[in-house]
Chains A and B, each alone.
Chain A
Amino acid sequence: MSSTIKLDEECTIYQAAQLRQQLADALMASDSLTVDLSAVGEMDSSAAQVLLWLHSEATRLQKTLALVQLSAAARELFTMLGLLIYLPIVEEEAGHES
């Protein structure tokens, strides 16, 4: 069972708690979670940190996690912080359904 979740435009410290809850719930509910970052317009370290944590949770619970469709803002942040190789980024042109 897999599911996709699309992040909102704004991913900052203001949304961090909510984001963590949303992603944790989604991860619990399915074996394979895809996170769509195409809409992300603003992202800060806290959001990056939540994704890092989600990745470690997924590994711990032996579930699959993929980050897809990185927006320019998300990619810029991950690159700057040197996080690209620490996140399960899947670069294919994945068409996604709800």
Chain B
Amino acid sequence: MNLDAAKQTFLEEARELLEDMERILLDVEATDTTDEQLNALFRAMHTIKGSAGLFGMDEIVHFTHEAENVVDLLRSGHLALSEDLSGLLLRCHDHVKAMLAVVDDKATQQEMLQTSLLDELRHYAQPAAVDEPAGSSQASAPEQGGLRDWVMSLRFNEDVLRNGMDPSAFFRYLRLLGEFLVVQPVLCRLPQAERFDPESCYLRFELLFSSDASQQMLLDVFEFVREDSQIHIFPVGEAAAHWPQLIADADEAEQAAVRQAWLALGLDPDATAEPEPAPPAKAADKASDKASEKADKPATGAAEAKPPRASESRFIKVEAAKLDSLINLIGELVIAGAAANLMARRSAQSALVESTIAIANLIEQIRAGTLSMRMVQIGEIFSRFPRVVRDVSKELGKSIQLNVSGADTELDKSMVDKLGDPLMHIVRNAMDHGIESSEARLAAGKPAEGNVWLNAYHESGSVVIEVADDGAGLRKDKILAKAVANGLVPADSVLPDGDIYKLIFEPGFSTAEQVTNISGRGVGMDVVRRSIEQLRGTIDIDSAVGEGTTFRIRLPLTLAIIDGFLVSVGNATFVIPLETVIECIELPPDALQGDAHNCLNLRGEVLPLLGLNRFLELGQPHAKRQNVVVVRYGDSKAGLVVDELLGEFQTVIKPLGNLFRHLRAISGSTILGSGEVALILDVPSLIHFATSQEAERFASHAEHAQQRGGHGNH
């Protein structure tokens, strides 16, 4: 039984439709509406209503029906999309979303129907709908010319029941759109005795239906089954012309039965039968059937010529778990491939080596391809912000413009899911605390309208997301004073700017003088930092008083497989994420390793060095020649001193056990082709350590000189 699956599909589709709806509503505020947009609005409400009907969600049907009426008036030009109305529709959007969230809870849904939104909707629908019979809940879309009689021929596919569709549900829903005049079941397909499978559907119905709905609306009712089943709906007058189409797939007994049914409906199938589409040739018949169907469409009304829904044809929905297990397998494949490659090299058979290289190449492509399947555009989360900014700025009485760029930057789906909340928090914070009130802005010589920027881009193997505002900026002195008052830092400490700003991520920290609804309760920023860190990301703040603040979130591209750079120290092997590696140089013999300067002059730039041997306390004897791997993360660089450079290696990240979670220098482990385990170095924290080590040394020098001074610790 696939009822749950069908429901999931419905919920997913509804979610997408609602997103479309929201986007359009926010768009049209700025510009004029186009027919396309209004049609999309209508389709969102209409499709949700239709599908909800199939699943017996009567409350949602009821609500969306009212909204649909209003949107339909918009579409027909009887109403204009005023700010008030689009606000109302946005609230309806929220309401439908909320109803969908409690789809299994009938009681709550019932309660949710008791909303003033319905009255507001009716208020809009009323003036224009005076010519409609009042209170007729089935009066959808008064399209061209009122009540009509329709002939429907519904030949359900055998699998509809198994797929969770119940033909009677379509009937129930149709009753909302009009009235059944005569229903003639065609039962001859029902097999005898054992051949009858109670979970297959053998039913066919020929019926007369009276409704003021358009042909398209009636066809839309069957949207979920149209693909497999043969659903034909024609105005009574045109029906006979389509007779050959209706019986194209039917055997003689069925043809006879359908003919009987038609006679019972008072229709004459032979009235104006088409020139005879050569019945013996079955295949040709089918083809011509399709062709004639196509040819017929423009003739039977432009309404039916609906362009295929882009999202249906271009995307396949795949369960996330399946993709995860595929990625897992590919991880194993990468390891196995590396092992095979190693064996081949050892065997010194060049043909074998060559073929393993070819395989490795293919694996690399598969890996890239599969990982890209997990990648989604960050626009998915950005898209909810226009709404938030709009609502919050209204609430705060500030005028704020949101500028989004880089929405097409891709990152791992699992990260996108977890990023939403922290981003939301930062944006709200920026609006509430960052942007000043219009008066204050004008007084400071800035335009009254504040700006919030959302920006995303790729940089050296990571994704960077920036949230910037042009508000008042962070006040270092205030933050420091507060931190000192809270006992977070010693009173006389000297901290670099970046570290001062980072204090706002400490639990219970808020400099806002006023606690508002939006933010400022001092909970949250620490949660933001924690959730970013859980994604192996970092967050930095730039700020200038009077000019604004920028939050910069830096995240790894993916969580599963990385390109690694293999190095060895003594007989231990380590992996450095390749995207952080800038260059490799030989350690100059005169560069002192140890006590004095742990720095290297790299083309005039001072590069802090970190000897892995010493730092990780490996206790290995020094190799004769040592190398420096220059790594970069964000704006800082450092050199890692290692013994040997072993080259690139596709690395499947195996997370460390809980016991090792707190380790700062190691981010994970991997298995080499030889079966050995190699640890993956956590470059950001190594760099951090290298630079702070330098800073400390510098500070202690200063200390000696001045006899006093604080020193930073990480």
Task: Please indicate whether A and B come from the same complex rather than being unrelated chains.
Answer: yes
A residues whose Cβ falls under 8 Å from a Cβ of B: 12-14, 16-17, 19-20, 44-46, 48-50, 52-53, 56-57, 60, 77, 80-83, 86
- Closest residue on chain B to residue A21 by CB atoms: B198
Interface of chain A, main secondary structure: helix
Q: Which residues of B contact A56 (CB under 8 A)?
A: 190, 192
- Say yes or no for B615: interface residue by CB 8 A criterion: no
Q: A13-B166, A80-B172, A86-B187 are in contact. Are A45 and B193 (CB under 8 A)?
A: no
Q: A13-B161, A57-B192 are in contact. Are A81 and B199 (CB under 8 A)?
A: no
Interface window among B136-144, B201-209, B388-396, B621-629: B201-209
A to B CB contacts below 8 Å, 22 in the list: A16-B199, A20-B196, A20-B198, A44-B169, A45-B161, A45-B167, A45-B168, A45-B201, A45-B203, A46-B199, A46-B201, A49-B201, A53-B198, A56-B190, A57-B193, A77-B168, A80-B171, A80-B175, A80-B180, A81-B183, A81-B205, A82-B207
Whole-angstrom CA separation of A6 from B199 in the bound complex: 21
Q: Which of A44, A53, A83 has the most CB of B within 10 A?
A: A53
- On whether the beta carbons of B190 and A46 are closer than 8 Å, the reply is no
- Say yes or no for B182: interface residue by CB 8 A criterion: yes
Q: Which residues of A contact B167 (CB under 8 A)?
A: 45, 81
Q: Which of A16, A19, A45 has the most CB of B within 10 A?
A: A45
B residues whose Cβ falls under 8 Å from a Cβ of A: 1, 161-162, 164, 166-169, 171-172, 175, 180, 182-185, 187, 190, 192-193, 196, 198-199, 201-203, 205, 207
Q: Which residues of A contact B185 (CB under 8 A)?
A: 81-83, 86
Q: Which residues of A contact B175 (CB under 8 A)?
A: 80
- On whether the beta carbons of B161 and A46 are closer than 8 Å, the reply is yes
Known A-B contacts: A45-B168, A48-B168, A77-B168. Give 19 more (CB < 8 A).
A13-B162, A13-B166, A14-B1, A17-B198, A17-B199, A44-B169, A45-B166, A45-B201, A45-B203, A46-B166, A46-B199, A49-B201, A49-B203, A50-B198, A52-B187, A57-B192, A80-B172, A82-B183, A86-B185
- On whether the beta carbons of A82 and B198 are closer than 8 Å, the reply is no
Q: Which residues of B contact A12 (CB under 8 A)?
A: 166
- Closest residue on chain B to residue A50 by CB atoms: B198
- On whether the beta carbons of A82 and B187 are closer than 8 Å, the reply is no
- On whether the beta carbons of A82 and B182 are closer than 8 Å, the reply is yes
- On whether the beta carbons of B183 and A80 are closer than 8 Å, the reply is yes
Q: A45-B203, A52-B190, A56-B192 are in contact. Are A81 and B198 (CB under 8 A)?
A: no
Q: Which residues of B contact A16 (CB under 8 A)?
A: 161, 198-199
Q: Which residues of B contact A82 (CB under 8 A)?
A: 182-185, 205, 207
Q: A19-B198, A82-B205 are in contact. Are A60 and B183 (CB under 8 A)?
A: no
Q: Which residues of B contact A13 (CB under 8 A)?
A: 1, 161-162, 164, 166, 199
- Closest residue on chain B to residue A53 by CB atoms: B196
Whole-angstrom CA separation of A80 from B193 in the bound complex: 26
- On whether the beta carbons of B168 and A80 are closer than 8 Å, the reply is yes
- Closest residue on chain A to residue B168 by CB atoms: A45
Whole-angstrom CA separation of A60 from B194 in the bound complex: 13
Q: A49-B203, A56-B190, A82-B205 are in contact. Are A44 and B166 (CB under 8 A)?
A: yes
A27 CB to nearest B CB, Å:
11
- On whether the beta carbons of A81 and B196 are closer than 8 Å, the reply is no
Whole-angstrom CA separation of A23 from B587 in the bound complex: 87
Q: Which residues of A contact B184 (CB under 8 A)?
A: 82
Partner pick for B202 among A17, A49, A86, CB 8 A cutoff: A49
- Closest residue on chain A to residue B207 by CB atoms: A82
- Closest residue on chain A to residue B194 by CB atoms: A24
- Closest residue on chain A to residue B180 by CB atoms: A80
Whole-angstrom CA separation of A49 from B203 in the bound complex: 8
Q: Which residues of B contact A44 (CB under 8 A)?
A: 166, 168-169
A72 CB to nearest B CB, Å:
14
Partner pick for A53 among B1, B168, B171, B190, CB 8 A cutoff: B190
Q: Which residues of A contact B187 (CB under 8 A)?
A: 52, 86
- On whether the beta carbons of A81 and B168 are closer than 8 Å, the reply is yes
A91 CB to nearest B CB, Å:
20
Whole-angstrom CA separation of A82 from B184 in the bound complex: 6
Whole-angstrom CA separation of A52 from B191 in the bound complex: 11
